[in-house]
A and B are shown apart, each in its own frame.
Chain A
Amino acid sequence: MNIYVLLKRTFDTEEKITISGGKINEDGAEFIINPYDEYAVEEAIQVRDAHGGEVTVITVGGEDAEKQLRTALAMGADKAVLVNIEDDVENGDQFTTSKIISEYLKDKNADLIIGGNVAIDGGSGQVAPRVAELLNIPYVTTITKLEIDGTNVKIVRDVEGDSEVIETTLPLLVTAQQGLNEPRYPSLPGIMKAKKKPLDELELDDLDLEEDDVAAKTKTIEIFLPAQKEAGRILNGDLSDQVKELVQLLHTEAKVV
């Protein structure tokens, strides 16, 4: 089975995040594989081990993303592809990334493509579904269980806490939700072998794409940190006075009613 994993390098949101000049400070930030993409890598490895085939991990980004690709190789993926857009694209968006990935994948005869449900940085959850749309294959998002029998696929997907069972067929794109599996630690032999596994680096030219073909469709106006959480307030006094005060505060201070 020909399996592809869409992987994104993100900063670790458990570390402190700072903003300067309208951008997130990359100095001192820790970078990781997007946690949902880790589920995708793990699932891909499990499907390969059960059904045979090959797992290729692909990312769109800069040179630095090699680390995250190597980690996926250390976990057990077979090959990695980095589409390096550092020099060509200044401000990409979900359209940019999905266009590039679909161009890469269009002649690869992928049986199964797995992505994370959402990236913890941008949080759009758009890239994987757009790729499926561009490749004209079915997709199922936020899956928590995947069973493959020949070309028939049975999926459980998480719908806001409820489960939905879906039957579909390969070729297929799915996105991984928490609970799909427990990603493994890379093993020592895996780490030692990761460097020797193939990692192809491509640029837009190699995909016959021009900068205009992938120009962003959206523009980021502003990036800001959430407002500091302030201490709560407890209202005192007669109950009806409290209600009056609360309504007034919601109206004048919080401006929500």
Chain B
Amino acid sequence: MNFDLTSEQEMIRKMIREFADAEVAPGAYERDKTKEFPIEPFRKLAEMGIMGLPFPEEYGGGGADTVSFAIVVEELSRACGSTGITYSAHISLGGAPINLFGTEEQKREFLTPICTGESFGAFGLTEPNAGSDAGGTQTTAVEKDGQFVINGSKCFITNASYAKHLALTAITDQKDGKKEISAIIVPTDAKGFKIIDNYEKMGLNASNTTELVLEDVYVPTENLLGKKGEGFKQFLITLDGGRIGIGAMAVGIAQAAYEKALQYAQERKQFGRSLSQFQAIQFKLADMALKIELARTMVYKAAWLKDQGRKFSKEASMCKLYASEICMEVTSQAVQIHGGYGYMKDYHVERFMRDAKLLEIGEGTSEVQRMVISREIGC
């Protein structure tokens, strides 16, 4: 048993922490208001080789492990939730399925630009009637003369406006009344492919969330990602990795809220003492520190299992579920400790609370995580 980070992981943490403090945090407040995508921090992250962090070096990746990925997501999210989710989706939803299921040619063509940061990574799964319930999928891809003709729409797709291509799921066949779902890589500049970026969100305002509309979009059948009919299975494997990212994001946002609350409690004086000298506030802060520590440990464990090549679905769901729920609690308590000031945007903690809510929803709601865990423990 060893809880120490490796020297690489430690160096990555130091580097990304300094970067996040200097380059990401200062604009976070403003971007939340203007909804401006954090393109400048990402240009620098690309220069530093972070955009392809866990992917093989032969495709321009960094060859680092999942623990390092979790560290980077946590630190970016601590500075700015929108930057954190953009990065997490880029790696674990955009790059990972191509790395896991792509052919050699597909990796060269589609994974390389993701690693270099030339393209952001995105994944088109969710539809108005389908997400974790794949049966509701309505997008179709009909094979015709060596091409797929794709029709349908997707919703809540992260990063698509900044992606040069993305994988999406579509019905490729029906057998015994059961839909056969496959994943297909589609260039975003294909004729008939429209990306709409006009959601009004509760939080994560600077991240790019889009609707995709596909009308007779033609792509060659070579763009099939992985095996025909295994699109949903592949997607479940992809999401296992993505959940580690969401867990790490939750730890980062909770850490940011806790740090702000602790600092405020030490500075703010009421009834002649600082807030941190009142036991009611001390206990809140102690609970926050405890929950964050547990959540981070669970995120690291899931990431470590993945790095060992072991089964990690249950742990990924556990870390995502636990971290996102404590993140909501911690950010809410951080606002509480700030009192009236916490409700004001200037004090940042209300942003953390708004950003946190998505984590209980995206990449499988808390309820779906409980379904996954129940199945894993044999219910």
**Which residues on the B side are within 8 Å of A192 (C-beta)?**
8, 62-64
How many B residues face the partner with a CB closer than 8 A? 18
Check: B100 CB closer than 8 A to any chain A CB. Answer: no
- Per-residue CB proximity of B7-26 to A under 8 Å, as 1/0? 11011101100110000000
The docked-state distance in angstroms from the alpha carbon of A87 to that of B136 is: 69
**Residues from chain B with Cβ under 8 Å of A194 in the complex:** 8, 11
Q: Does A150 contact B (CB under 8 A)?
A: no
The listed residue with most B CB atoms (<10 A of its CB), out of A67, A74, A189, A190, is A189
Q: For A189, list chain B residues within 8 Å (CB).
A: 49, 57, 62
Selecting from A88-96, A180-188, A205-213, A225-233, the interface stretch reads A180-188
Chain B residue at smallest Cβ distance from A30: B14
- B212-242 vs A, CB cutoff 8 Å, 1 = contact: the mask equals 0000000000000000000000000000000
13 new A-B contacts at CB < 8 Å, known A185-B18, A187-B47, A191-B15: A67-B10, A71-B11, A186-B15, A187-B48, A188-B48, A188-B50, A188-B62, A188-B64, A189-B57, A190-B49, A191-B11, A192-B64, A194-B11
User: Is the Cβ of B19 less than 8 Å from the Cβ of A185?
Assistant: yes
B91 lies within 8 A of chain A by Cβ = no
CB < 8 Å: which of A67, A185, A188, A190 contacts B7? A67
Contact yes or no, B8 A195, CB < 8 A: yes
Across-interface contacts of A157 in B (CB, < 8 A): none
- 1/0 per residue, CB under 8 A from A, across B55-73: the answer is 0010000111000000000
Taking the closest CB of chain A, its distance from the CB of B40, in whole angstroms, is: 15
In terms of DSSP, what is the predominant structure of the interface of chain B? helix
Q: How far is the CA of A186 from the CA of B14 in the complex (A)?
A: 10
The reply to whether the CB of B53 lies closer than 8 angstroms to some CB of chain A is: yes
Whole-angstrom CA separation of A201 from B180 in the bound complex? 61
Looking across the interface, which residue of chain A has its beta carbon closest to that of B18?
A: A185
15 A-B pairs in the complex with CB atoms less than 8 angstroms apart:
A71-B11, A185-B18, A185-B48, A186-B11, A186-B15, A187-B48, A188-B12, A189-B62, A191-B11, A191-B15, A192-B8, A192-B63, A192-B64, A194-B8, A195-B8
Q: What residues make up the interface of A, taking CB atoms closer than 8 Å to B?
A: 67, 70-71, 74, 185-192, 194-195
A190 to B306, CA, bound (A): 24
Closest B residue, CB atoms, query A67:
B7
Identity of the chain A residue whose Cβ is nearest the Cβ of B12 in the assembled complex: A191
Give the distance in Å from the alpha carbon of A67 to the alpha carbon of B5 in the complex. 13
Residue among B14, B19, B62, B64 having the largest count of chain A Cβ atoms under 10 Å: B14
Most buried by B among A70, A71, A188, A191: A188
How many whole Å from B18's CB to the nearest CB in chain A?
7
Verify B11–A70 contact, CB threshold 8 A: yes
Of all chain A residues, the one with the shortest Cβ separation from B8 is A191
What chain A residues lie within 8 Å of B64 (beta carbons)? 188, 192
Residues of chain A within 8 A (CB-CB) of B7 are: 67, 70, 195
Q: Nearest Cβ distance between residue B23 and chain A, in whole angstroms?
A: 9
In the assembled complex, which residues on chain A have CB atoms less than 8 Å from the CB atom of B15?
Answer: 74, 185-186, 191
- B22 nearest in chain A by CB position: A185
Name B52's closest neighbour in chain A (CB-CB).
A188
* CA–CA, A186 and B11, complex, Å: 8
Q: Chain A residue with minimal CB distance to B53?
A: A188
Q: Closest CB-CB distance, A187 to chain B, in whole Å?
A: 5
- Report B-chain residues with C-beta under 8 Å of the C-beta of A187: 47-49
The residues of B that contact A71 with a CB separation of less than 8 Å are 11, 14
How far is A195 from B11 in the complex, measured between Cα atoms in Å? Answer: 11
Q: How far is the CB of B206 from chain A (nearest CB, A)?
A: 22
Q: Which residues of B contact A188 (CB under 8 A)?
A: 12, 48-50, 53, 62, 64
Q: CA A71 – CA B48 in complex, angstroms?
A: 14
Q: Which of B19, B48, B62, B64 has the most CB of A within 10 A?
A: B48
**Nearest A-chain residue to B49, judged by Cβ:** A188
Instruction: Return the chain B residue nearest A184 by Cβ.
Output: B48
Q: How far is the CA of A189 from the CA of B57 in the complex (A)?
A: 9
- Which residues does chain A contribute within 8 Å of B18, judged by CB atoms? 185
Q: A188–B117 Cα gap in the complex (Å)?
A: 14
Bound Cα distance A114, B8 (Å): 26
The residue on A at minimum CB distance from B51 is A188
Please give the distance in Å from B253's CB to the nearest CB on chain A: 23
- Complex CA distance for A189 and B8, rounded to whole angstroms: 11
Tell me how far the C-beta of B323 lies from the nearest C-beta in chain A, rounded to whole angstroms.
24
With a cutoff of 8 Å between Cβ atoms, the chain B residues found around residue A190 in the complex are: 49
Cα distance A67–B14 when bound, in Å? 12
Beta-carbon nearest neighbor of A190 in chain B: B49
Closest to B72 in A: A188
Q: How far is the CA of A74 from the CA of B62 in the complex (A)?
A: 13
